[in-house]
Structure 1
Amino acid sequence: MPPSLKESLESGLDFIEFLGDRIINNSKQELRDIYNSEFKDRRGIKDPTFASVVYALVRFNKARIHKGKIYLNVKPQVRVYCDQWRRPRAPHAQGASSDPQGTAGVPPPSSAPQTPVLTPKKKLVMEILHKLKTNRKELTADKGGIEITSDPVGTDGKVHFTVAALRELFVVRFHIVNKGSNSVHFTFYTALHRIRCFTLEDERKVTRACPLFLCPGESYEVVVRYTLIHYGHFPATMYFEFCPDLPDSVPFCIVREMEAVARTPLAVELGPVAPYKKLQVFTSRPCVRLFPPSSVVQRLKTAVKLGDYRYPTYLKEIAKQWVEDSDLNSIKHTMCVSRGLLSCSLKMKNYSHRFHLLLHLEEIQMEVDIRKYDLHNQTMNQDPSNRKLLTLSVPGVAENRPSVLRGDCLRVSKSEDTDQPITVYTGYVHRVELDSVKLGFSKRLLQMFLSNMKFEVEFTLNRFPLRLQHRAVDLAVTHQLGEVLFPSGAAAASLPMPKLRMFNQQLESNPEQHAAVQRIVAGSSKPAPHLVFGPPGTGKTITLVEAMNQVSRADPTAHILACAPSNSAGDLICERLMTHMDAHKVYRVYATSRDPRSVPKNLLKHSNWDEQQDGFVFPDKKTLMSYTVVVTTLVSAGRLVSGGIPVGHFSHVFVDEAGQAVEPECVIAIAGLLSAGKGQLVLAGDPKQLGPILRSPLASQYGLGLSLLERLMNHNALYQKSSDSGHFDTRFVTKLLRNYRSHPAILKIPNELFYEKELQVFADQWEREAYCKWEYLPKKGFPVIFHGVMGKDEREANSPSFFNVSEIEVLVDYLTKLVETQQKKGLPKLSAKDIGIIAPYRKQVEKIQKALRSVPALRKWEDLKELKVGSVEEFQGQERRIIMVSAVRSSINYIKMDKDFNIGFLSNEKRFNVAITRARSLLIVVGNPVILNKDPTWKKFISYCVEERGYTGFDFKDAEGEDDIVSRLATLKISEEESAVQQHVDPGWRNEH
């Protein structure tokens, strides 16, 4: 099919950008040569002919032809960005009561947290504490003739001191002097949100019922005695109230803040390297671009076109108005259409249009977020082994912050370049090292390159996965996949279950796994998907692999496509498949961007690795179709569609970890490959664990974060328990119940909260009880510890991410004890890979990694780098013998109410579930119990630890509650509205292609 006029125009505009500064008055023949030799099909995508492109450009007034020359009507432009997180979003009146997903189910646009109904007393406390927070300068100022000083001396109304050793007494004396000309009554004093690690004393025991009369010149002393028994930060706000000895006088108050700190030398070492400053917003300048020549060689010819799917320019303005909750007359109609599309239920009729809009909104935010990694005044070096490449240092690239893959491009310009427009050079990534990348540039840059030359570096968004998702939702409509994506069950049959002899003998004794395999082989759900609901540690991947083996045995003509969102999950499928299947029947397809060093050696020879090209090359269609099982990521499955693998060639499509992919990503492996009526789709995952990571709040709000697996399980009756029997229809869904991972004490709370108490403990007894007699357990036989820490949220330099050194001190202490006690008193020998540490904030991960390198006891481990420290997302699907969790979020300011507490990722039930269920034998959670108790899920977990005597550390009962403050401050009348605070956390970027 010839390209449409619009597609030709899109290619033409891309060609104009590709030309960069070569767009001045080139002859038609010269442009044709550049187009055919350098631009056309350079990305493995079939582009229109040069004649089609020129016709489209002329038709849309982007070019004109005169006397054999083509003049391009373009000017360098400044790229405009739209940050959807910029301002708080207010709910919009239109559609406020509608469900944007309907049966697809996501919170409606108006589901922002509602202001809680407060009792009069609680409202009063809120007003008092807010006044203290927002008018601190006024409240800490001496007034009414009263002056308050302290010993030790305070600064700016705050007394900060460090306690040299635990359990040592430290005294703070507040001196109150009446320096005015009138007498004053000292009526009351107290500490707000105090921690009961100190006592208040005064000789006359001043109260409102027994005030102290201070004549001019008289003084009085209030004494605070601190005794700290735990490391951490212990704040208090001292509140002093006075009343002039005059008729109709009004009471006034003076506030002083205190903070006692107990910390180890390690905590000092890990403190902020520089004061926190907000990251400067990047600016864009007009530019022209230069590209290096392409060297892409692929054997898989393009048969199905992949469009560009650029978002319309007006969508940024719509997103901006949406964020600001305003209506601009010029786009009012378009905005109403967009709102209407997202506010109605998801159905096949609006399927592609809705997802196109959501994906565009996500891309707009991704463009903003990727620019936060831009580098300034950065030097590059010539690669000594290949002088055509330049090496650029990119801190964080190893952790996908940002994600930079082989084949990606970066843009650089000379820092001192002041010309308008500036020249921007595009460099393609040839190799990614630990903290640097090797880039190929055009000859023009290489010829002028000098050592120590400084550059501005701009990171770019790889749009390829987004484009595949756009095409997938279009193909889903074209191939009429309604009964796959919105199954009714009308065609499903109650087929007899085949008698099977399991390849993996362990499944013979597991009724749920055995039944799932039987149902998949029988195809009892067709054309509806069969879902394998696999809670943590229940063996869903093993179940899928067994099903693939059985399908191949039952039908030798079957062809299977096995996919997962990540390469690691795909590799696991492949390795387990080859345990029982002839390895020559299995083919692992990797994207050209995959680093061969990260591929398991036993898989490389069964993959598309090409020694001659020193990279992964997609083989021709005939080769791909010759294998029984092809294993890819969901994104790479899109290459099979492009290559023209016929619809129906794959009789079965299996998707593991399906809950981690947005629906359009999952559909990449379905639309254009699976037959709508005859194919069998199998999705495995857990809707109670983490879903996909999104960056756009608007896309998330309207359902892009809902995976196909979760949508079906939550909003399709076929995949829900019968109200009569209380069981799932096993034709469509199998819930695995046997947990082979964790000690029952670790499993108990997640089982109660998320799995209806149905999970059964089948973990190996010796393994799960390995630490039940550890001498540092608060209660023997209960291998769960919650260690309460009063820490401090800190940030440094221009990183918005939080860290908490007090929690790191505790983690390191436990690690040291684990190392010192291994192989003693029946404990197993430990290696670094037996332990995992989870933290929700990137900066905490970095600080923990730094601490591990400085602890003498841990240096004994030669494989210390195998001790994984990462975010919850990085641990999904993994397990360790010992898991430690650092909750991070705390508060130095104890005058905030519960609605102000932002506990970051911890308020997400799915994130809690994943973090807690990674451990086999020992779980240690370190966090601030006062903060975490504000969240109902964490409150249940902490209460459980307290009841089972697994709680240790700071006794959170010593933290005074708001009701205690009410009883002491009920006579004050201070009022002002409360504001909300939003913290920014930087998640890692997906790099699975």
Structure 2
Amino acid sequence: MDEEYPQGRCMICNYSRVQEDVDHESTYDHKFNFRLWEWKHYKKALVKNRHGICLEIKHLGCGQSPCTYEENVNKGLCAITVHPNQYENHRHQLIFDCLIKNSSKNEIYITDIYLVHPTNLFQICEGIVSTGGYIKLETGAQYKFQVKYAKNPLNIGSIQNPVCINFQSNADPNANKQKSHEDQFTIARNLYVKITEYTEEAISTERSPFSNEDWETNSEEIKVVPPTQRLKYVNKYPIPDDYVLPLKFGLRLASGLNHQLIHTIQQLRNLMQPNHVTLHNYRMYFHILLWLEEMGEILMLKRYNMSNVLLTVKSDILELEVPGLAEKRPSLIAGDMIDIRLHGDHTCYRGVIKKINDKTIEIGYIHEHLINYVKSDPKTEMDVRFVLGRLNLERQHEGIDRTFLSGMVPYLFPTNNICRPNTIRHLPDADYINQTILTNQEQKKAVSSILYNSSGNVPYIVFGPPGTGKTVTIVEAILQLKRKTDKKILVCAPANAACNMIASKLMVHCNRSELIRVHSETQDMQSIDRYLRDYSNIEAGIFIKTSAGKLNTYRIVITTLVLVGRYVNDYKPDVVFVDEAAQASEPECSIAIGFLKNSKKQLILAGDPKQLGPNCCSNVAERYGYGKSLLERLMEFDIYQPQNPNYPYYITMLKLNFRCHPLILEIPNKLFYEGHLIASSTAALNDPVGQYFVFNKNLKKKKTIGGRAIEFFSVISKEKREGRSPSYFNPAEVEIVMKYVHGLLTSRFDVQQSDIGIVTPYIRQVHKIKYKLKDANYEEIEVGTTETFQGREKRIIIISCVRAQDSLLKFDREYNLGFVRNSKRFNVALTRAMSKLIVIGCPSVLCNDSKWLEYIELSEENEAYFGAPFIRRTTEVKEQISRRIGNIQLIDSQFRHQQNIS
């Protein structure tokens, strides 16, 4: 069986064979997928005219409003492209005029004409061959029929469906019941309809500069001229030489490896047993995991080595254009390094990436020899390789060691025998600074539990689902600790945006000697609120490096997890808060945890493990758990489970959602939060925009009654990739996004541009939408990926899913939804909207994921489904497709000759 199904997978179905299903080939799904595979494999020959039979297809147009008709003979594609206004002029139908000519010396019989997919969007008329009947074509005779595409109301997008004609030669089909396969053949064409307002831009075919090649087989042959400024860290945790190859192999054993390599791989795998982190393997496990991640980042960067590129000089800075930068391909951060050399030279100059723009990077600290050379000859072609900056990794390695040495590790694996909860005391209502918390029992409990340290010596968790006031809760807890204790408080988050948000809320209640927000020198000054700058490590408009001694004078210090690693020796906080803890890897979180000591420790983790987690470059590291945050791992322990009678001492789940309309919250609440969330936003519930369908079914007239807070607009189309970009975009969905935006901004419900957020999983779609918005003077509308909107909210969210298919016969298994299939991204995307959530996508693709199918079905239940019909692949439809493909004569004598098949 393993020979038939390599690695336990059926190559037809991409089916993961389980032990019990030893007869997969007899299953219905396999048989159906095999029919699709046959069609895909043989259709190239079927679209050719042969045996003296010619099939001509034209568009039967409308004189006053001609459409665009194109025919690709090699692919057998007959395509009509039409503007919606033209479609109306055609009375909501498009006609393919089909003519069969017999130029052979023999009479030919047409035995069947049919469409492969049974959708009612396409219909054959004028000359349907009835079941069991036939049409005789004498030599020189012709036969005409039509295929109509009809849909009213129209749908923006594209769709294709093959039409097949079966023929029999040499004998009367009724007289010869034992027909020879050699006497039968099929001719097919793909009928393609595209309804669009979008003017397609020319797709760039520019050569990619990425070479994915090492400069030399032995990197020591290259002389490296170092940066002019010394690195800010020492490489204390480099990958050991003996581990480099095993890590490159992903710790996999394979044939052909030498004995020493096999021994080292087995040694590393033994250190990581039982393949997840435990109390006993904690230290070495995470060191190996970090080295795996580092190796993944190194290999990723190597793919983006560039050759024959040009650089420009700005003062003492070199600027380089990097295609795909906005898609994080390559994924670079300020502080990474870059080697530059004359093309093919053996001397390179190393610089430091100081700034990352949308399309270019700025390189500093590079030797003046190279700068002067580029100045003198800007057309000189250079080679570039990216060098991983290890500062973040070094601080994570150090955080793991410090957490281990501080004795904190046992408390990161909490069991009943080490947990000593304190009595839960309650803060008097009059003492709350934010009085709105008084109506929220979960927020009150969390604040009191943190203030009085109910969890004792194990981490306390504030589980904050979307819109439940997590930041409000931890801000109140921090202020209460400042007011009622003398403890020094460290507040960290993985990203600057989260740190800035907390600092902005805290600074209202603190003076400048109590609170400091510590920024990295690489942070963009313009992203910092001008009032927050007064509480920051900024003097005279520049960042200054704050000493650890200075930090000890503040009650509250706020900074990122990586940056706080700068102060490991002397800064001594008593309480550590990690906000957005679900987005940080455990080694990253350990940087802050390492500041706590056995005698005084209180750790609070706030976040939502059901939303986006840590970024992970190495698939192997992710498989071993690098993509799982400490927060998510802790919540799997019994003490954090509701079944534990002491559960309330260790964790609080916030339940009142103050953001979303109940209908918007329905699916995320059911799928991710076991129905515990309570929609509590009266503003969202009463917002008239949530009681209004932006467009009715003809996508033109506004419908002001009977609307819902959710909508789904179906677009059957095809995604594309452009030039050197690896990211997808979908022009048809861009059209619909613009229609929705215009409909919202011209509605009577006072919708402002700032009320609208547009979420899409692909950065290329972000750029396409931004361009269209700018052209329409809608530049205040925010557009971004799911990551951009994490922790954010908008009155109205429009989601463009991008991935689509216009072929009704696409393999389901071929459709790798990528970002769209990710559960956490799904949850984040759907929970950003307050009053209105609009999803634009292809239902026949999205239905392959159960979560998206639930949203589509909820939209249908609420009469909030618009656009192209949802063509479900029911058992009946699959049976019809299988039967129709089964009727196709896939191989005939001429095909055998062309393909050299014996």
Question: Who is 1:49 aligned against?
Answer: none
> Mean Cα displacement is larger for which, 675-684 or 235-244?
235-244
Is residue 688 of structure 2 the alignment partner of residue 795 of structure 1? no
Contact 2:803 2:841 (C-alpha < 8 Å) held by counterparts: yes
Is residue 188 of structure 2 the alignment partner of residue 255 of structure 1? yes
Query: For residues 89 and 243 of structure 1, do their structure 2 counterparts lie closer, same or farther at Cα, with a shift above 3 Å needed?
Result: closer
Q: Note the alpha carbon deviations across 1:671-718, whole angstroms, 9 max, x for none.
A: 2x11245311110111111111212211112211111111111x2111
Q: 1:155 aligned to 66, 73, 90, which one?
A: 73
Is residue 519 of structure 2 the alignment partner of residue 597 of structure 1? no
Give the alignment of 1:115-126 within 5 angstroms: 120-126=27-33
Q: 2:619 aligned to 686, 691, 697, which one?
A: 697
Question: Who is 1:893 aligned against?
Answer: 807
> Mean Cα displacement is larger for which, 366-375 or 460-469?
366-375
Distance across 1 between alignment mates of 2:846 and 2:501: 36
Question: Who is 1:925 aligned against?
Answer: 839
Q: Note the alpha carbon deviations across 1:28-54, whole angstroms, 9 max, x for none.
A: xxxxxxxxxxxxxxxxxxxxxxxxxxx
Question: Who is 1:528 aligned against?
Answer: 458
Higher relative contact order (Cα pairs below 8 Å, separated by 6+ residues): 1
Q: SS where residue 186 of structure 1 aligns?
A: strand
Is residue 152 of structure 2 the alignment partner of residue 223 of structure 1? no
Q: 1:466 aligned to 386, 389, 393, which one?
A: 393
Q: SS where residue 665 of structure 1 aligns?
A: helix
Query: How many positions carry a matched residue from both structures?
Result: 832
Give the alignment of 1:393-792 within 5 angstroms: 393-394=321-322, 402=330, 406-415=334-343, 418-419=344-345, 422-430=346-354, 435-436=359-360, 437=362, 439-449=364-374, 450-454=376-380, 455-489=382-416, 490-500=418-428, 501-556=431-486, 558-611=487-540, 615-641=542-568, 643-645=569-571, 649-671=572-594, 673-676=595-598, 678-713=600-635, 715-722=636-643, 729-765=647-683, 769-774=687-692, 776=694, 780-792=706-718
Contact 1:147 1:177 (C-alpha < 8 Å) held by counterparts: yes
Letter in 2 for 1:932: L
Query: For residues 486 and 225 of structure 1, do their structure 2 counterparts lie closer, same or farther at Cα, with a shift above 3 Å needed?
Result: same
Distance across 2 between alignment mates of 1:499 and 1:208: 81
Question: Who is 1:238 aligned against?
Answer: 163
Any stretches of 5+ residues in structure 2 without a counterpart?
A: 10-15, 60-70, 697-704, 892-902
Distance across 1 between alignment mates of 2:813 and 2:357: 44
Q: 1:197 aligned to 112, 121, 125, which one?
A: 121
Q: Note the alpha carbon deviations across 1:183-231, whole angstroms, 9 max, x for none.
A: 444322322236432211242x324522334444443233111235112
Is residue 316 of structure 2 the alignment partner of residue 388 of structure 1? yes
Distance across 2 between alignment mates of 1:434 and 1:794: 21
Q: SS where residue 522 of structure 2 aligns?
A: coil
Distance across 1 between alignment mates of 2:185 and 2:403: 69
Distance across 1 between alignment mates of 2:599 and 2:7: 45
Query: For residues 260 and 309 of structure 1, do their structure 2 counterparts lie closer, same or farther at Cα, with a shift above 3 Å needed?
Result: same
Distance across 2 between alignment mates of 1:610 and 1:405: 25
Query: For residues 321 and 781 of structure 1, do their structure 2 counterparts lie closer, same or farther at Cα, with a shift above 3 Å needed?
Result: closer
Question: Who is 2:820 aligned against?
Answer: 906
Post-superposition offset of 1:242:
3.0
Distance across 1 between alignment mates of 2:126 and 2:443: 70
Distance across 2 between alignment mates of 1:740 and 1:816: 28
Is residue 875 of structure 2 the alignment partner of residue 965 of structure 1? no
Question: Who is 1:883 aligned against?
Answer: 797
List structure 1 segments (4+ residues) > 6 angstroms apart after TM superposition. Answer: 109-112, 275-279, 972-975
Question: Who is 1:290 aligned against?
Answer: 225
Letter in 1 for 2:738: V
Is residue 295 of structure 2 the alignment partner of residue 364 of structure 1? yes
Post-superposition offset of 1:870:
1.2
Query: For residues 765 and 668 of structure 1, do their structure 2 counterparts lie closer, same or farther at Cα, with a shift above 3 Å needed?
Result: same
Query: For residues 462 and 306 of structure 1, do their structure 2 counterparts lie closer, same or farther at Cα, with a shift above 3 Å needed?
Result: closer
Query: For residues 89 and 699 of structure 1, do their structure 2 counterparts lie closer, same or farther at Cα, with a shift above 3 Å needed?
Result: farther
Q: Note the alpha carbon deviations across 1:369-415, whole angstroms, 9 max, x for none.
A: 334555544433333xxx43334445666776656555443222223
Question: Who is 1:4 aligned against?
Answer: none
Post-superposition offset of 1:760:
1.2
Q: SS where residue 576 of structure 2 aligns?
A: strand
Q: 2:740 aligned to 814, 829, 833, which one?
A: 814
Contact 1:788 1:953 (C-alpha < 8 Å) held by counterparts: yes
Query: For residues 882 and 404 of structure 1, do their structure 2 counterparts lie closer, same or farther at Cα, with a shift above 3 Å needed?
Result: same
Q: SS where residue 584 of structure 1 aligns?
A: coil
Question: Who is 2:64 aligned against?
Answer: none
CA RMSD, Structure 1 to Structure 2 (Å): 3.2
Post-superposition offset of 1:442:
1.0
Q: Note the alpha carbon deviations across 1:336-376, whole angstroms, 9 max, x for none.
A: 33444255342121112222222222222212333455554
Is residue 44 of structure 2 the alignment partner of residue 137 of structure 1? yes
Q: SS where residue 135 of structure 1 aligns?
A: helix
- Percent identical: 31
Contact 2:583 2:614 (C-alpha < 8 Å) held by counterparts: yes
Contact 1:564 1:657 (C-alpha < 8 Å) held by counterparts: yes
Contact 1:128 1:974 (C-alpha < 8 Å) held by counterparts: no
Distance across 2 between alignment mates of 1:259 and 1:496: 68
Distance across 1 between alignment mates of 2:784 and 2:254: 37
Q: SS where residue 310 of structure 1 aligns?
A: coil
Letter in 2 for 1:414: L
Question: Who is 1:206 aligned against?
Answer: 129
Q: Note the alpha carbon deviations across 1:576-600, whole angstroms, 9 max, x for none.
A: 1112233421111112322222222
Distance across 2 between alignment mates of 1:544 and 1:399: 33
Letter in 2 for 1:687: P
Query: For residues 195 and 323 of structure 1, do their structure 2 counterparts lie closer, same or farther at Cα, with a shift above 3 Å needed?
Result: farther
Distance across 2 between alignment mates of 1:306 and 1:931: 47
Distance across 2 between alignment mates of 1:363 and 1:115: 40
Contact 1:377 1:456 (C-alpha < 8 Å) held by counterparts: yes
Post-superposition offset of 1:570:
0.4
Question: Who is 2:701 aligned against?
Answer: none
Contact 2:488 2:575 (C-alpha < 8 Å) held by counterparts: yes
Distance across 2 between alignment mates of 1:221 and 1:371: 59
